Amino acid sequence: MDRNEAITRIEPHISRKRFEHTLRVADTAIELAERFNGSTEQAELAALFHDYAKYRSLGELKHWIIKSNLPKDLLDYHHELWHGPVGSILVEFEHGIHDSSVQDAIYYHTTGKAHMSKLDKIIFIADYIEPGRSFPGLEEVREAAKTDLTKAAWLVSRNTINYLMQKNNTVYPDSFYAYNDLTRQMNGRTD
């Protein structure tokens, strides 16, 4: 699926502001894929669809979680987490995207996970650092993303968990698994 077709398919499902964010994430993902020898096609497709389910009703998101093989414990966490996993199913169901790497990158773009692929890291980071974003700690991640994909992903993971904890919010287990795995990688361990 080329960029124009993907845009035609996603634009009606998201707000104008989210659409502009999505285009910036796609451009950032392509840049990261080029820099770190990833697939620019997969990066662009995953980035364009990463927030595809973001504006679906809570009832619809809940329905997909219950009906599918998604983990039911998602329902115990904030609904902001639901759009990634549900989106990974909807892109296949509604648009015939069967690339499991693209689907995984969409699924885990908010939480991360242990053993993230290069594409997972690219989308995780691109969503965080796209040029329209501005918040404390962002420049450190942008700098790291120029030279070290794992360090940048680790910083995203660390910052996200810290933010959630400061707000007294629950943290989905995949976020901790991502942080622990990335910390091991940063320390030169792969266990």
Q: Is the residue at 123 inside a domain?
A: yes
Alpha-helical segments (H) within 11-148: 16-35, 40-49, 58-67, 83-95, 100-107, 118-129, 138-144
**pLDDT score for 190:** 58
Number of domains observed in the structure of the chain: 1
Query: Rounded to whole angstroms, how far apart are CA atoms 35 and 184?
Result: 23
Query: Rounded to whole angstroms, how far apart are CA atoms 148 and 172?
Result: 25
DSSP string, 22-52: HHHHHHHHHHHHHHTT--HHHHHHHHHHTTT
**pLDDT score for 189:** 64
Query: Rounded to whole angstroms, how far apart are CA atoms 34 and 4?
Result: 20
**At residue 47, what is the residue type?**
A
Q: Is the residue at 115 inside a domain?
A: yes
Split at pLDDT 50, 70, 90, the class of 188 is confident
> What's the mean pLDDT when you consider all of the chain?
96
Q: Is the residue at 189 inside a domain?
A: no
Q: How many CA atoms lie within 13 A of 14 on its CB side?
A: 23
Model-level pTM?
A: 0.95
Q: Is the residue at 148 inside a domain?
A: no
Q: Is the residue at 117 inside a domain?
A: yes
The pLDDT tens digits for 43-90 are: 999 999 999 999 999 999 999 999 999 999 999 999 999 999 999 999
Instruction: Give the CATH number, domain containing residue 126.
Output: 1.10.3210.10
**pLDDT score for 136:** 87
Q: What is the DSSP letter of 69?
A: S
58 — phi, psi (to 5°)?
-60, -35
**pLDDT score for 91:** 97
Query: Rounded to whole angstroms, how far apart are CA atoms 49 and 111?
Result: 16
Q: Is the residue at 166 inside a domain?
A: no
Q: Is the residue at 67 inside a domain?
A: yes
The pLDDT tens digits for 129-165 are: 999 999 988 999 999 999 999 999 999 999 999 999 9
Q: Is the residue at 95 inside a domain?
A: yes
For residue 111, give its domain range. 3-134
